Structures are given as C-alpha cells and as structure tokens.
Amino acid sequence: MTGDEKLHDKLTPPEVVRQLDRFVVGQVAAKRAVAIALRNRWRRREAPPEIRDEILPNNILMIGPTGVGKTEIARRLSRLARAPFLKVEASKFTEVGYVGRDVESMIRDLVELGINEVRAEMRERAGRQAEQKAEDRLVDLLTPNVRTEVPGDPGGSEEQADEEASIIAVDDSGVAEKLPVPRAESLRDELRAGKLDRRWVTINVSAKGGVFFDLFASSGMNTMDPGLQGSLEKMMPKKSKRKRLRVSEARRILIDQEVERLIDEESAVEEGRRRAEESGIIFLDEIDKIVAGGREHGPDVSREGVQRDLLPIVEGSQVPTKHGLVSTDHILFLAAGAFHHARPSDLIPELQGRFPIRVELDSLTAEDFVQILTEPECSLVKQYTALLTTEGYELVFEHEAIVSIAELAEQVNDKTENIGARRLHTLLSSLLEDVLFEVPGLEEKRIIVTRELVEERLAKLADDVDLSRYIL
C-alpha cells in the first residue's frame, strides 16, 4: 500500500472534520461538506475505469461574513489532502479584452504549484546524495594542485611531496601564511567540522535572467502565450560566471546545483501537472464581488464577463500552459463570498449550476470567540505566549480576561463592521502593545492579563464608536 493510499484510508469524512476542528471553531455544515468532497475524490480514483472520468467534483459555495473561517477551512483541507492549493480573489480577474489578469492564469499558477511541490519532494530525497557530491567538489577545490621537486630527486616521491609541499593561505587581514598541503581525508573532516567555512573558493554560478527576459518581465510576461514563453526559455542559452565565495556559502550553492542535476525535470513536470489535474484545489474568494448590480453598463459588464470566462474552466475545459494542455475536469473549486450587497442567485444561472453545494457559515458569538482564543492549536493566546517565551517571559491570560476580550469583540463587531475573528487580532494588539514594546526591559518575568487590565485598556475604546472604527 502506497503512502497516498494509507493517507486516504485515514482521511474518512469524520476524521477530516476532527482534523479541521483543531484549527477552526464551529461551522459544522461547511466542514462536513468539504470532508465529503475530499473523500469523493478518492472514491472516484478507486471507481471502475469505465465510469471514473464521468464522475465530476461537487464544487462548493460558502456563504458568510468575513472572518468566520471560510479561507482557513479551505487552506487546512488542502494540507490534509497534500494537494496543490491556490487561493485567488475573483475580483482581480477581468473579462478578456480588458486590462488585467485573465481567469486562465489561475490554472497556470496551480500547475506551477504542483510542479514545485514535486520538485521539493525530489530535492528532499536527493538531499543526502547532493550533500555528498557537493562535499567532494569542495574537497577538490580546497586541495591545491601543487608540483613539488625535492633536491636530488627531480621526479620526487609521493611521500616526500605530501610531506614537503606547501600552499600559501591569506587571511582576512591580508597576512600570508605558509601551510602544508592537507590530505583529502583531513580536509573532509575539517570541512564537516566547519573549520574551513571562512576559506575562499571560486566556483561557477549560473547567471539568472538576462536583458531579453527583463524586457518582457517589465512589460508583463504573464500576458505572453504560454507555448511561446516556454519555447523562448528553452532557446535562450544558460549562462554562468566564476564567483569567489566563502566555503560556507559555496557549499549551499553547490548543494543546490547537485540537487538540480539529480532531479528528473521531465518527471517532475509530468507528475506536477497530473496532481494539479487530479487533486488540485482552487479557492475563489470574494466571488460576490463579480456579481453585476443589475446595470448594463460600466464595470458591471466586465464583472458578468468574468463569470462567463469562469464558466468553461469550472465546468471542465483544456487550458494551455507552457507545460502543455491541462484539463480542469476534476479540479475542485471552493468559492466563498459575504454576499452583503448581492445574493448567490444574482450569479449567472450557468455558474450557479456549477456550484451545486451551498453552505452558510454562521456569524461568531462571544462564546465562539472564547473557543477561538483557547482551543485551536495555534490560537492567538498561544501565539503571543510563544512570542514572549523567546524573551524569557511568561504570559498568562486569566479565564475572565479571555471572556472579557470575547465580549468586547462581539460588541465592537455589532457596533461597527462585522469582521469576525479578525477583530481579536486588533483587540489583542491594542491590549498588549505596552508589554510588547517594553519587553525585554521589564523586571517582572511573569505577566498576568486580568479582566481589570482588559477593561482598563479596551473598554473605553469599545464604547466609543468613532474610536472603535479607527483603532479597533
């Protein structure tokens, strides 16, 4: 059984929900929907070949205010699936013919992500072998090519050469010192011990880019036809230059060079493209921003045009990239939007039909904020505690203080814009501003956050609506 099969045997829908619960509070309906969608992808791959290609993913539309967990659910899901994941904002795209990014660019970006993931895995597997080869090259560079002649013996013997040959080393201050020629094995031991890190060596370093590609980059090379771009990159000669570097820096560059030699680029591209097609996840945020407001002129025309351009990609098509045509038939699309000034039904009907599953995420309450501050593995309270631990301080939040912060977050969200859990970031930043500024100058190593401190620092700001708008 392969590692991928073992992973998917463990990732049953209940297990996916349990994993998401570690990072996202509440939103059970959204978690269940994405867990089923993820499991269905594995089920499709296990289905009989005659029906496998006919099973299409059920794309999901998540509806809810900002800061309630839409993006975090999608991001954590991609990590669980170990799949290429791309987050894009729908509002950045423009209709073909308008200035801006076209929707096909997100597929090209997803493929590049998939290829980079495969390259990273290959680099990790090749790491030890590359380190060994880089070490051999450094030993060769550090071993001087010296011809010695011993009086009375024009040819000289190997033992005498090893004993009497010498090299001249120059330190940072410019002082020359006569040193004996070291043996390769002793050099290797010193290299591994870091004793030679400040020595100088000269190596070949690839020169990236050039005037030709700089010209296209400045004019927006992303707009060039992908096939033409790939052909031009292959046609351009690869240049290198000699560079004098410290051993410590040269080691890193030589390891990278050896890793690149060990990577099968063709296999990496093929596997990365396959992962993007079969397992890729695209998160379309702010999809409500491309909903037309009912007018037939102005920017609304372009917004509806973006929807029409999205339609063939979401329903399945072939997108040209510099690595060949990429099928979008089995890419999972997760769309999200607040829909404050529009409704999902305002999307063009064809696009609505391509997001058959709709889940509504709940607004967060004070009780939810208490859970968000205490339960997730990477909660804000734990993050600030870890930050101050690096300075030798212990940060302690009393439970009553956390409850007070949660109540203030709900209060400010109700009075001003509802930005969900992101309100906690602003509240904690204001609350701990003095502490973060004074550390490490504070004498007391144990800092306790009490309810009284929270009310003293934040209550007045929360009560003043005008101040809340600008500070909290």
Following DSSP, what letter does each residue of 308-369 receive, concatenated? HHHHHHHH--EEEETTEEEE-TT-EEEEEE--SSS-GGGS-HHHHHT--EEEEPPPP-HHHH
Tokens of 269: 């591209």
Per-residue pLDDT, 164: 39
Which residues fall within 8 angstroms of residue 114, CB to CB, at 6 or more apart? 84, 271, 272, 273, 274, 275, 276, 280
Domains and CATH numbers, the chain: 3-115+270-360 (3.40.50.300), 125-145+163-267 (no CATH), 366-463 (1.10.8.60)
Local confidence band at 338 (pLDDT 50, 70, 90 cut-offs): confident
Whole-number Cα distances in Å, 291 to 98, 284, 307, 310, 351: 17, 13, 8, 12, 11
- Paired sense of beta strands 332-337 and 60-63, if any: parallel
Which residues fall within 8 angstroms of residue 142, CB to CB, at 6 or more apart? 182, 187, 191, 196, 199, 201, 247
For the chain, what is the mean pLDDT?
79
Q: pLDDT tens for residues 286-334?
A: 898 888 655 554 445 567 888 888 899 998 899 999 898 999 999 999 9
Q: Which of 29-38, 62-71, 101-110, 143-152 has the lowest mean pLDDT?
A: 143-152
**pTM exceeding the 0.85 threshold for the entire prediction:** no
Local confidence band at 219 (pLDDT 50, 70, 90 cut-offs): very low
Per-range mean pLDDT, top range of 227-231, 237-241, 462-466: 237-241
Q: pLDDT tens for residues 233-253?
A: 555 666 777 878 888 888 888
Burial class from Cβ neighbours inside 10 Å (0-12, 13-18, 19+) for residue 200 reads middle
328 close to 313: Cβ distance less than 8 angstroms: yes
Q: pLDDT tens for residues 386-419?
A: 999 999 999 999 999 999 999 998 888 888 888 8
Which residues fall within 8 angstroms of residue 296, CB to CB, at 6 or more apart? none
Residue 397: strand pairing partners: 449
Q: Is the pLDDT of residue 383 over 50?
A: yes
Amino acid at 231: S
Q: Which of 150-154, 256-260, 420-424 has the lowest mean pLDDT?
A: 150-154
Per-range mean pLDDT, top range of 95-104, 202-211, 397-406: 397-406
Q: pLDDT tens for residues 1-33?
A: 444 545 556 789 999 999 998 888 888 999 999
Comparing C-alpha atoms, which of 77, 67, 72 is closest to residue 33? Answer: 77
